[in-house]
Amino acid sequence: MMLTREQIRDHLGKGLGVYGVPYRLFTWEWESDQVCFHVYLELLRQESRARIEVYFAPLGFPEIEGFELRGNSFPFFVLAKRLPLGVDCDVDVVERLDNGVYSDEERLECFVEIGEALGQYVTAHCTIEDLLGSYAGGEYNKAYIHRVIRPVFDRELEARGLPLPDAETSELQWMDFVK
């Protein structure tokens, strides 16, 4: 029997709750003075897969004014499995619900661990400097950073003497999540 979205949410929420990240339905939101995060749990039944999506925005930049900063209307998008969470399990394998690598109970415990690591990640990336450091380090695929904010971050890195990320992308690679 496949895990339900509610079961996954409850266990992911236990981990995120350790860092005080509140949720509503299948969404967790956290905000500092400089950055806001939105974590969303998607269940792709056709693929027997859960997907943890992380959306975020640096606050205070005029370039983000066109984004609603709710739902998927954010300038940054990354899948949790692509973040350096430092968990003992492979997030991609955990999200594949029918692969048989984990029992349901083990998988749910992995979701708690992933949730706790996500909570630590979002609360630790609470400043523009934190986001710029992660961007410079290549943690975020430039294809998933909206085209209006990429040049802003590149200018900010250059102004601080930090290296630009290596990955080059074209406009066709950007997944337009802004409605």
| pLDDT tens per residue, range 117-163 | 999 999 999 999 999 999 998 888 888 899 999 999 999 999 988 88
Q: What is the pLDDT of residue 162?
A: 84
Which domain range does residue 63 map to?
A: 5-161
- Does position 172 have pLDDT exceeding 80, yes or no? no
Q: Is 146 in a helix, a strand, or coil?
A: coil
Amino acid identity, residue 145? I
d(CA 5, CA 61): 35
The per-residue pLDDT of the chain, averaged, comes to 89
Is residue 178 in some structural domain? no
> What is the band of 1 on the pLDDT scale with cuts at 50, 70, 90?
low
- Does position 54 have pLDDT exceeding 80, yes or no? yes
d(CA 56, CA 33): 13
Q: What is the pLDDT of residue 15?
A: 97
Average pLDDT over residues 5-33: 96
Is residue 177 in some structural domain? no
Is residue 59 in some structural domain? yes
Report which DSSP code applies to 33.
Answer: S
**Total of domains in the chain:** 1
Is residue 9 in some structural domain? yes
pTM above 0.85, yes or no: yes
What own/partner pairs with CB < 8 Å and gap ≥ 24 does 119-122 have?
A: 119/15, 119/16, 119/17, 119/18, 119/19, 119/20, 119/21, 120/19, 121/83, 121/85, 122/19, 122/21, 122/30, 122/37, 122/39, 122/54, 122/56
Is residue 166 in some structural domain? no
d(CA 130, CA 89): 25
Average pLDDT over residues 68-80: 93
- Does position 25 have pLDDT exceeding 80, yes or no? yes
Q: What is the pLDDT of residue 50?
A: 96
Is residue 92 in some structural domain? yes
Is residue 176 in some structural domain? no
- Does position 105 have pLDDT exceeding 90, yes or no? yes
Q: What is the pLDDT of residue 168?
A: 52
Report which DSSP code applies to 18.
Answer: T
> What is the band of 177 on the pLDDT scale with cuts at 50, 70, 90?
very low
- Does position 9 have pLDDT exceeding 90, yes or no? yes
Is residue 174 in some structural domain? no
- Does position 31 have pLDDT exceeding 90, yes or no? yes
- Does position 174 have pLDDT exceeding 60, yes or no? no
